[in-house]
Amino acid sequence: MVQADSSSSDGLMTSVAIVEDSAAFRRFLVDLINRTRGHRCVCACGSAEEALVTIPPQHPDVVLMDIHLPGDSGIACTARLRELAPEAQVVMLTVYKDIKMIFQALKAGACGYVLKRASEREILEAIAEVRAGGAPMTPEIARLVVRSFQTPAAASPGTETLSPREQEILALLAEGMSNKEISTRLCISFFTVRAHLMHIYEKLHVRSRTEAAVKFLRAPAGGSAQPPAPRL
């Protein structure tokens, strides 16, 4: 049995839904989840259409989502799931390394992006990380994201509307810190961090922490209450 720190912050079982059109890889993921302590696979779907009907009633903590699906794409499915099951954290699990596709997935509401060839431990660590409030990415994907920010791009407006505390929290979020880590760093409660994040999402018109981090990193330097550029 694979051992992992799989329990959520409240000590409960981590429920996982899988959306994957390859029957063989879908079976592998189901087996991996169910033989890992603290994890439970609540459903495994072969298409976006099936997922949109099956997943919301199950209320999973995490959804492992393939991008390339028959019919609607995993990106479209993610965007719809964010409306039907907003509590679910979506991690894209795919063979694709195209930066445009990565950002489309993040914009749709994905909280992480892991390559299919990642090891069992890396997949489980991604689930644990997203449950802790992080934004997991395999090193190859993270390098692509960093490289994209080294190319000049149009700045995204909105970060100037944040308060100094919200700017500070957003900077730490962009570093990849979880809510718990941010609360420890700033000496404030976990619930205060979560409340600030809700305000940040509303002001920036985003639906995920990764999309908020992208807006922060795209914002022009020297803006109002803008902290030093974070490390990704």
How far is the first Cα of the chain from the last one, in angstroms, to the nearest whole number?
33
d(CA 19, CA 166): 34
> For residue 206, what pLDDT is reported?
81
CATH number given to 159-218: 1.10.10.10
> For residue 222, what pLDDT is reported?
35
Each of the 232 residues of the chain gets a pLDDT tens digit; together they read: 444 444 444 457 999 999 999 999 999 999 999 999 999 999 999 999 999 999 999 999 999 999 989 889 999 999 999 899 999 999 998 886 667 777 788 888 888 888 888 899 999 999 998 888 887 876 666 666 666 655 544 444 556 788 888 888 888 887 777 888 888 888 999 899 989 988 888 888 887 777 787 777 666 543 333 433 333 3
Residue type at position 122: E
Task: Give the residue among 80, 82, 87, 94 at the shortest CA–CA distance from 123.
Answer: 94
> For residue 1, what pLDDT is reported?
41
Contact at 8 Å (CB) between 65 and 38? no
> For residue 175, what pLDDT is reported?
73
> For residue 219, what pLDDT is reported?
62
Residue type at position 54: T
> For residue 144, what pLDDT is reported?
65
Secondary structure class of 138 (helix, strand, coil)? coil
Work out whether strand 62-65 and strand 89-94 pair parallel, antiparallel, or are unpaired. parallel
Delimit the domains of the chain by residue range: 14-147, 159-218
Fold of 14-147: Rossmann fold (3.40.50)
